[in-house]
Amino acid sequence: MPELLDLIVDKYNYWLYIVLMMIGLYAMIGKNNLIKKLVGMNIFQTAIILFYVSIGYKKGATIPIIQGDHGHGAADAVIKAADYINPLPHVLMLTAIVVSVATFGVAMALCVKIYQRYQTLEEDELRMRLSEK
Amino acid sequence: MSWPIDLVILTFVIFCAIAAISVRDLLGTAILFGAYSFMMCLLWAVMGAVDVAFTEASVGAGVSTVFFVAAVFRTSRRTKD
Amino acid sequence: MKLVGFIIVCLTGGLLLYGTGELPAWGDPNSPASTHLSDDYITLALEQTEAPNLVTAVLADYRGFDTMFETAVVFCAGLACFLLLRDFRPKKDHYYRHVPTGVMLHVKNEARTVRTGREFEDMDREWVPSDTIIKTVCRILIPFIQIYALYVVAHGDFSPGGGFQGGVIFGSSLILLAISYNLKTLVKRVTEKFLGVFSSLGVLVYVGIGAIAMALGGNFLDYGKYAPIFGEHHIRALGMLGVEIGVGMAVTAVMVIIYINIVSEGRHDEGL
């Protein structure tokens, strides 16, 4: 029984990230509205970003900003790697977030353009309008 | 970080995500998506990823929501599911 | 379709859940991700780059090339929105408001226009009187938001923040101006030509800092080569500040371009 509890404490975060990712994937496949699909895509993205950020987390470590005198005297102090959270996943994911807002903007522009031409954002109605022509 | 805060915020995130994709009004989706982004930002701040949390607070909860509302303003609020 | 989607999602989720069994425990300091390379970044970054914020040090110095193309991606997004939506055709109907009386004028003839000035002003089709409280509060708030944005850009290497966040905050202050007044006020102050030049100038600043370092005899984006000009002290942190300013300029302009094009359907005349 204690082994099961340990397993849950160690892994429950990963399980919830996967649930979040499943919600996003379902919205991308199952929803009919194009903007809902975009929301699903964004949820999927943030779930994966969350997974990456959590990889960098270390128990008992602090945020990745070196403590001390803004670099003047801090270089003399010994910096231990175990005291700071791994900064590498943060950098990669910061890039991913900014790219995600750029793609989101372009996707919204495409939605506005589609609405201008077909007067709808529903996938089935769009397919109907396309087959009419 | 303490696990109760983590668990509570994660639960909020999942509820916001489900609500955002199931509500039948796109303006409501926009606001719920902003709330989702903000909860995500809190989660990252708790995990110690301050730079990522700052970016998400300004990008996800701020500008994305504005783009969303602008697009809904120019299209329609109607959604079938 | 919904059922098929649900089955696919459950299958994927099940496989991933099975896969978590192999992952290290959550927050384990001895996990593979935080034992090999990251130790070097944490222990050597302050000495090599003189920036206490490790994230900025890795973002703008070790992985500077990556960030440069990311700025290019953001610039391309602005360009794509412009090309998709921009509509240069003049609009057919004009709406004017007689300022002293508040009467709305609707001119349907394309050729006839009313000269705007003291007596008449340009109006949107769906015009509602703007709220004095919102206008005043936003007018007071916007300069503080902009100063905060500049602070975030300038302190990127000491505290959380940097070019992206500062640029987004500056851009949203301009968007707030458009929301609280109207879109014409923003377009009149920040013209389209200015935004285009500003966004490309941001990318040029980044690339230029890299290229000048090459001309001075170093590698691309090797800020250490600027030492003869600016002095040895904190030269790498200074170089990072330079590229962060470039990123901030590009991001600010692109956010405003995307917003204006979406909200006015590319006509830049009326919107939220």
Residue B70 lies in a domain: yes
Max CA separation in chain A (angstroms): 74
| pLDDT for residue B20 is more than 70 | yes
**A39 touches B at CB < 8 Å:** yes
Residue B81 lies in a domain: no
Question: How close, in Å, is residue C210 to chain A by CA atoms?
Answer: 19
pLDDT tens, residue by residue, A110-121 = 999 999 999 999
Q: Are B41 and B61 in contact (CB under 8 A)?
A: yes
Q: If residue A70 lies in a helix (H) or strand (E), which one and from where to where? A: none
Question: Strand pairing partners for C94?
Answer: C107
Residue B80 lies in a domain: no
Residue B39 lies in a domain: yes
Task: Give B66's contacts in chain C (Cβ within 8 Å).
Answer: 172, 175, 259
What does the pLDDT read at residue A77? 66
Task: Count how many Cα atoms sit within 13 Å of the Cα of residue C91 in the half-sphere of its side chain.
Answer: 17
Cβ neighbors of A117 (< 8 A, separation 6 or more) are none
Task: Determine the Cα–Cα distance for residues A120 and B61; give it in Å rounded to an integer.
Answer: 27
Question: How close, in Å, is residue C99 to chain B by CA atoms?
Answer: 27
Q: What are the C-alpha distances in Å from A124 to residues A39, C5, C83, C164? A: 18, 16, 27, 38
Boundaries of domain holding B33: 3-74
Token pair listed for C142? 């916007």
Among residues C88, C120, C89, which one has the least CA distance to residue C107?
A: C120
By percentage, how much of chain B surpasses pLDDT 70? 99
What does the pLDDT read at residue C169? 94
Domain total for chain B? 1
Write down the domain spans for chain C: 28-88+131-263, 93-129
Residues 8-27, chain A, touching C (beta carbon < 8 A): 10-15, 18-19, 21-22, 25-26
What does the pLDDT read at residue B1? 64
**C252 touches A at CB < 8 Å:** no
For the four alpha carbons of B2, B3, B8 and B13, in that order, the dihedral sign comes to positive
| pLDDT for residue A41 is more than 70 | yes
Task: Determine the Cα–Cα distance for residues C75 and C251; give it in Å rounded to an integer.
Answer: 8
A26-41: string of b/e by CB count within 10 Å (b at 16+)? bbbbbbbbbbbbbbbb
What does the pLDDT read at residue C159? 87
Q: Give the best residue of C155, C182, C263 to mutate against chain B (max B CB count within 10 A).
A: C263
Question: How close, in Å, is residue C103 to chain A by CA atoms?
Answer: 31
What domains, with CATH codes, occur in chain A?
2-64+73-132 (1.10.287.3510)
Among residues B55, C198, B41, which one has the least CA distance to residue A99?
A: B55
Residue B79 lies in a domain: no
Task: Give C169's contacts in chain B (Cβ within 8 Å).
Answer: 58, 62
Residue B42 lies in a domain: yes
What does the pLDDT read at residue C108? 79
Q: Are A131 and A54 in contact (CB under 8 A)?
A: no
Closest residue, chain B, to A9 (C-alpha): B3
Q: In this complex, which of A24, A35, A42 lies closest to B26 when CB atoms are compared?
A: A35
What does the pLDDT read at residue C177? 92
Q: In this complex, which of A27, A100, A111 lies closest to B71 when CB atoms are compared?
A: A111
Among residues C187, C181, C189, C190, which one has the least CA distance to residue C137?
A: C181
Model ipTM value: 0.92
Task: Determine the Cα–Cα distance for residues A63 and B52; give it in Å rounded to an integer.
Answer: 11
**A66 touches B at CB < 8 Å:** no
**A102 touches C at CB < 8 Å:** yes
Task: Give A24's contacts in chain B (Cβ within 8 Å).
Answer: 17
Alpha helices in chain C (DSSP H): 2-19, 37-49, 54-57, 64-85, 132-154, 163-180, 183-189, 192-215, 227-230, 235-263
Mean pLDDT for chain C overall: 87
pTM of this structure: 0.91
By percentage, how much of chain B surpasses pLDDT 90? 72
Kindly indicate the confidence band of residue A69, based on its pLDDT and cuts at 50, 70 and 90: low
What does the pLDDT read at residue C222? 87
Residue ranges in chain C whose pLDDT is less than 70: 127
Kindly indicate the confidence band of residue A70, based on its pLDDT and cuts at 50, 70 and 90: low
Question: How close, in Å, is residue C177 to chain B by CA atoms?
Answer: 13
Q: In this complex, which of B20, B26, B59 lies closest to A97 when CB atoms are compared?
A: B59
Task: Give A109's contacts in chain C (Cβ within 8 Å).
Answer: 80-81, 84-85, 258, 261-262
Q: In this complex, which of C161, C172, C259 lies closest to B70 when CB atoms are compared?
A: C259
What does the pLDDT read at residue C229? 87
What does the pLDDT read at residue B80? 84
pLDDT tens, residue by residue, C56-115 = 989 988 988 999 999 999 999 999 999 999 988 877 777 787 878 878 788 877 777 777
Closest residue, chain A, to B3 (C-alpha): A9
Among residues C149, C152, C202, C162, which one has the least CA distance to residue C55?
A: C162
Contact check, Cβ <8 Å, C59/A94 = yes
Kindly indicate the confidence band of residue A45, based on its pLDDT and cuts at 50, 70 and 90: very high
